[in-house]
Amino acid sequence: MKMNIVATIAITTAALAASALAQAPSGRIVTVDLNRIFNEYYKTPVASGKLKETADGYTKEQEEMVAQYRKQVEELNKLREDSEKSEYSAEVKEQKKKAVQEKLAETQKSQRDIEEYSRTHRQVLEQQTTRMRQGIIKEITDVVNKEARDAGYLYVLDKSGNTLNSVPTVLFAQDSLDITDDILKILNKNKPAEAPKPEEKKTDEKKSDKKPDKK
């Protein structure tokens, strides 16, 4: 009796599974390499270049602040050295001591300003980088989603990602299922023409200025 019940359950489960598969929507499962798409999308290096320019500007400004701080430290050390000379009267020593305290306060303020500048602008750069990545990723996923809908794909899997256990999300997929190149063609179809390098431009100008040989 128990065997009959087990057999009935097994048959019923198999039938339900077969029914579910039969009712599943038809379509292919394809893969993309989102990491490669992100890196080869023409807008990525453009955005990265702008971020680098901003970061370089911050670095230059901070280096100027640090140079000014070091100069203040040197001045402070000289004032301390001078204030310790024995030939000064008590009144002069008091004046020197006051000058040292004022320069110390100025130096400490500069140090705090540098730390605050570094912290604030690091956060600004991190926020700008996050917005840049999110914007580009949204553009990429919008194109992937549209392509999937138009082509009737069932699933689009990112084969560049890993699970929490550092295992590839997609363990195996045939190359024929990869639509990375197709997505890149769509994304890069409006890529602006690159300007010729100065050396190439100069060579082209020399060629155009060259007089034709007389026969």
Question: 215 in a domain, yes or no?
Answer: no
Contact 70, 114 (CB under 8 A): no
pLDDT band at 92 (very low <50, low <70, confident <90, very high): confident
pLDDT-derived band at 18, boundaries 50, 70, 90: very low
Task: Answer whether residue 137 is part of any domain.
Answer: yes
Domain with residue 139: its CATH number is 3.30.910.20
Q: Which residues contact 69 (CB under 8 A, 6 or more apart)?
A: 107, 110, 111, 114
Within a domain: residue 51? Answer: yes
| Res 87: pLDDT | 86
Give a yes or no: residue 199 inside a domain.
no
Query: Would residue 37 count as lying in a domain?
Result: yes
Of all residues in the chain, the percent with pLDDT exceeding 90 is 60
* pLDDT tens-digit readout, 161-195: 888 888 888 888 888 899 999 999 999 998 988 75
Residue 9 lies in a domain: no
Judge contact between 82 and 97, C-beta under 8 A: no
Kindly report the three-state secondary structure assignment for every residue of 176-214.
Answer: HHECHHHHHHHHCCCCCCCCCCHHHHHHHHHHHHCCCCC
* Rounded (5°) CA angle 111-117-123: 140
Give the pair of three-digit tokens for residue 117.
């500048």
pLDDT tens for each residue of 23-40: 334 578 999 999 999 999
Q: How confident is the model over 106-128, as pLDDT tens digits?
A: 999 999 999 999 999 999 999 99
Is residue 204's pLDDT more than 60?
no
User: What are 170's two structure tokens?
Assistant: 């997609």
- Segments forming the whole domain that contains residue 89: 25-189
What is the number of domains present in the chain?
1
In a domain, 203, yes or no: no
